[in-house]
């Protein structure tokens, strides 16, 4: 990117992922300043969003509700300033795990078997066996995630997951390797494999240094790599994604991929997973941030 721009980074926000968002935003702002851009950092108030004068592009470093669910995108649209990442509809679709799964199924993208609950009084569904996973429908960063290994624990764990929203999706727990696929400008980046040193890839293991190992490019054969990347791109297109995202994919022992979810505003610290994948193809962190702004700027009003 040759032109020096005035860029506003939106960070923080009101969601359960605020602290992660503050880290993402600070890293992005530092990277963009290192390339000579004028960068404003704004912690937005929902419903009262105001951009500094002269803003030529908005970098969304928000995660979770408000930032990733289409709300801030809808507030930005009337301002006519291009912003990074997916638009209103795709953000809304991807943030709702049930909508994502239904759109994946309609598009022939493999996803885990699931059932939906909206009451703590719900009983164990007929025909299901443990282990299963409970996830709030509209949260990210493993917020509210519960692993159920015994049916008798289900009522307590369902109630805990429901604390983070009025609806919970229960999925079969896929046994296999946990991966994530970054997508940049319509291309799948090298696969990152995630291996927690103990337990599952929950909020603690995700954000505590040293608790998880990452391998990129992940060691899969060529055919399996292609299947995983095709599934990730299929999910990205199924929700109407644009510019970039990160798709979480489980890989069964037979090499078959199962899409878990699409993250439209993934973590953006220098050690986050999408930047790791970009680095594997020679795109450093500052260049990645600039590329994201470039993609947004293509939507700038002409004149």
Look up the CATH number of the domain holding residue 210: 3.30.470.20
- State whether 254 and 105 are in the same domain: yes
Q: Looking at 87, 248, 290, 291, which residue is catalytic?
A: 248
For residue 19, report the phi and psi dihedrals to the nearest 5 degrees.
Answer: -65, -40
Q: Is 267 a catalytic residue?
A: yes
Number of domains within the chain:
3
- Length of the chain equals 303
Range of the domain at 55: 6-85+286-297
* Residue at 230 is within a domain: yes
* Alpha-carbon span 170 to 258, nearest angstrom: 15
* Residue at 12 is within a domain: yes
At 79, list the tokens. Answer: 């301002």
3-state helix, strand, coil in the chain (%, to 5): 35, 25, 45
Q: Looking at 18, 23, 177, 246, which residue is catalytic?
A: 246
> What pLDDT does 293 receive?
98
Q: Looking at 267, 272, 290, 291, which residue is catalytic?
A: 267
Alpha helices for the chain (secondary structure H): 18-34, 71-76, 88-95, 97-107, 154-162, 203-207, 222-238, 273-279, 285-297
Q: Is 246 a catalytic residue?
A: yes
* Residue at 185 is within a domain: yes
* Residue at 273 is within a domain: no
Q: Looking at 24, 141, 161, 205, which residue is catalytic?
A: 141
> What pLDDT does 270 receive?
81
Q: Looking at 35, 207, 234, 255, which residue is catalytic?
A: 207
* Alpha-carbon span 13 to 43, nearest angstrom: 6
- State whether 260 and 182 are in the same domain: yes
Quick one: which of 87, 212, 93 has its CA closest to 142? 212
- State whether 103 and 23 are in the same domain: no
Q: Is 17 a catalytic residue?
A: yes
Q: What is the pTM of this model?
A: 0.91
Of 172, 187, 206, the last residue of a domain is 172
> What pLDDT does 19 receive?
94
* Residue at 234 is within a domain: yes
Q: What is the pLDDT along the chain (303 residues), one digit of tens a residue?
A: 668 999 999 999 999 889 999 999 999 999 999 999 999 999 998 888 999 999 999 999 999 899 999 999 999 999 999 999 999 999 999 999 999 999 999 999 999 999 999 999 999 999 999 999 999 998 765 788 999 999 999 999 999 999 988 899 999 999 899 999 999 999 999 999 999 876 665 555 555 567 789 999 999 999 999 999 999 999 999 999 999 999 999 999 999 999 999 999 999 998 899 999 999 999 999 999 999 999 999 998 775
> What pLDDT does 149 receive?
95
Mode of pairing for the β-strands spanning 38-42 and 6-10 = parallel
* Residue at 274 is within a domain: no
Q: Is 263 a catalytic residue?
A: yes
């Amino acid at each position: 990117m040759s032109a020096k721009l005035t860029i506003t980074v939106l960070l923080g926000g009101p969601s359960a992922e605020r602290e992660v968002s503050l880290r993402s935003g600070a890293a992005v702002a530092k990277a963009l300043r290192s390339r000579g851009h004028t960068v404003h950092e704004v912690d937005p108030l929902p419903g009262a969003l105001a951009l500094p004068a002269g803003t030529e592009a908005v970098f969304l470093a928000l995660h979770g509700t408000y930032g990733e669910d289409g709300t801030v995108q809808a507030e930005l649209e009337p301002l006519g300033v291009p912003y990074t990442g997916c638009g209103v509809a795709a953000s809304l679709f991807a943030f709702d795990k049930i909508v994502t799964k239904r759109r994946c199924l309609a598009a022939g993208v493999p996803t885990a078997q699931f059932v939906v609950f909206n009451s703590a009084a719900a009983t164990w569904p007929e025909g299901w066996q443990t282990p299963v996973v409970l996830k709030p429908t509209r949260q990210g960063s493993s917020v509210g995630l519960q692993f159920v290994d015994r049916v008798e624990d289900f009522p307590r764990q369902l109630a805990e997951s429901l604390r983070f929203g009025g609806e919970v999706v229960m999925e079969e727990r896929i046994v296999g390797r946990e991966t994530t696929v970054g997508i940049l400008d319509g291309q799948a980046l090298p696969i990152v494999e995630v291996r927690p040193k103990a337990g599952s890839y929950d909020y603690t293991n995700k954000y505590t240094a040293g608790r998880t190992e990452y391998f990129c490019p992940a060691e899969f054969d060529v055919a399996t790599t292609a299947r995983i990347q095709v599934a990730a791109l299929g999910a990205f297109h199924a929700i109407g994604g644009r510019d970039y995202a990160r798709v979480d994919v489980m890989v069964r022992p037979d090499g078959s991929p199962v899409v878990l979810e699409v993250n439209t505003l993934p973590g953006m610290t220098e050690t986050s997973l999408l930047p790791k994948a970009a680095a594997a193809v020679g795109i450093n962190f500052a260049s990645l941030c600039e590329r994201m702004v470039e993609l947004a700027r293509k939507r700038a009003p002409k004149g």
